[in-house]
């Protein structure tokens, strides 16, 4: 693609339409494959203005260079509190219709680090491979990577129909906890590289587009020089094909 799309920031929803591949009221998409991304920075001090948050700018800058398909963003800066974090994640998925939610901060062993607990509390499926890979990547840089507790989950919203004993998912999103430091965020998303810049350990973002495919979300395309998304041949869209 010739141009990397500029994200549109939104915080309200006033044009409900059917979400991608489902039924129900969600924010409208400017394009059928527009990805709605929730970015959540979790920090007591940044949320109260003690210091400037660096997580949200880093995430948005990285996505702007990595995504080659349309996307827009919902930003949240909140305190380290289980109830607040869980409520924010539910809002972003169930009300804002986010397909992907990335959090930063609150994943260490300190008493106020509760992001993994709050994330698991809203999950319908755990995706343990993401956390395992993030720690594997970070261990190439620091031995304290084993102290990180990042998790990733799928949250499915129910249809609300009580006509059957099993509620059918209306919408699903991937939620991924990332580290709190900007440098570590970039490393876990892109992967570890050697002194020549050759990728030695794949970053987690390479698997995210196909994961979004599998849960019914929009078709994501990436900039290969930043992150080369992997899909099986059967799941790849032919070049020049419109949705």
pTM: 0.86
pLDDT tens series, the chain, 243 aa: 434 344 444 443 333 333 444 444 667 889 999 999 999 999 998 998 888 999 999 999 999 999 999 999 999 999 999 999 999 999 999 999 999 999 999 999 999 999 999 999 999 999 999 999 999 999 999 999 999 999 999 999 876 544 455 655 589 999 999 999 999 999 999 999 888 888 889 999 999 999 999 999 999 999 999 999 999 999 998 876 766
Q: How many domains does the chain have?
A: 1
Domain with 147, as residue range(s), is: 35-160+167-235
User: Does 25 map to a domain?
Assistant: no
* Residue 23 pLDDT: 40
The CATH number that applies at residue 113 is 3.40.980.10
Phi-psi region of 240 (alpha: psi -120 to 50; beta: other; left: phi over 0): left
- Is residue 123 domain-resident? yes
- H or E stretch including 117? helix 115-120
Question: Is residue 100 domain-resident?
Answer: yes
Dihedral over Cα of 198, 202, 205, 208: its sign:
positive
pLDDT attached to residue 82 = 97
Rounded CA gap, 237 and 36, in Å? 20
Domain assignment present for 82: yes
Residue 191: left if φ>0, alpha if ψ -120 to 50, beta else—which one?
Answer: left
Query: Is 30 contained in some domain?
Result: no
Nearest partner of 123 among 80, 169, 164, judged by Cα:
169
Q: Is residue 28 part of a domain?
A: no
Domain presence at residue 26: no
- What is the rounded CA–CA span in Å between residue 99 and residue 226? 21
For residue 7, being part of any structural domain is answered with no
Task: Give the whole-angstrom CA distance, residue 64 versus residue 149.
Answer: 26
């Amino acid at each position: 693609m010739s141009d990397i799309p500029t994200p549109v920031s939104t915080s309200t929803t006033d044009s409900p339409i059917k979400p991608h591949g489902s039924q129900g009221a969600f924010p409208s998409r400017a394009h059928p494959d527009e990805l709605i991304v929730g970015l959540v920075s979790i920090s007591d001090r940044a949320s109260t203005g003690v210091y400037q948050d660096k997580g949200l700018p880093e995430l948005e800058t990285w996505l702007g260079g990595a995504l080659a398909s349309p996307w827009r963003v919902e930003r949240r800066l909140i305190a380290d509190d289980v109830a607040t974090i869980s409520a924010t994640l539910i809002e972003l998925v169930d009300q804002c219709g986010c397909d992907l939610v990335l959090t930063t901060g609150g994943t260490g062993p300190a008493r106020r680090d509760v992001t993994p607990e709050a994330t698991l509390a809203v999950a319908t499926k755990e995706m343990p491979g993401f956390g395992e890979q993030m720690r594997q990547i970070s261990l190439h840089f620091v031995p304290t990577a084993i102290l990180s507790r990042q998790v990733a989950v799928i949250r499915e919203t129910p249809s609300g129909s009580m006509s059957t004993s099993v509620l059918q998912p209306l919408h699903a999103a991937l939620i991924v906890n990332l580290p709190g430091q900007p440098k570590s965020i970039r490393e876990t998303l892109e992967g570890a590289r050697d002194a020549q810049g050759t990728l030695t350990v794949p970053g987690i973002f390479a698997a995210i587009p196909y994961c979004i495919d599998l849960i019914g979300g929009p078709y994501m395309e990436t900039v290969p020089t930043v992150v080369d998304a992997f899909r099986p041949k059967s799941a790849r869209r032919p070049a020049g094909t419109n949705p």
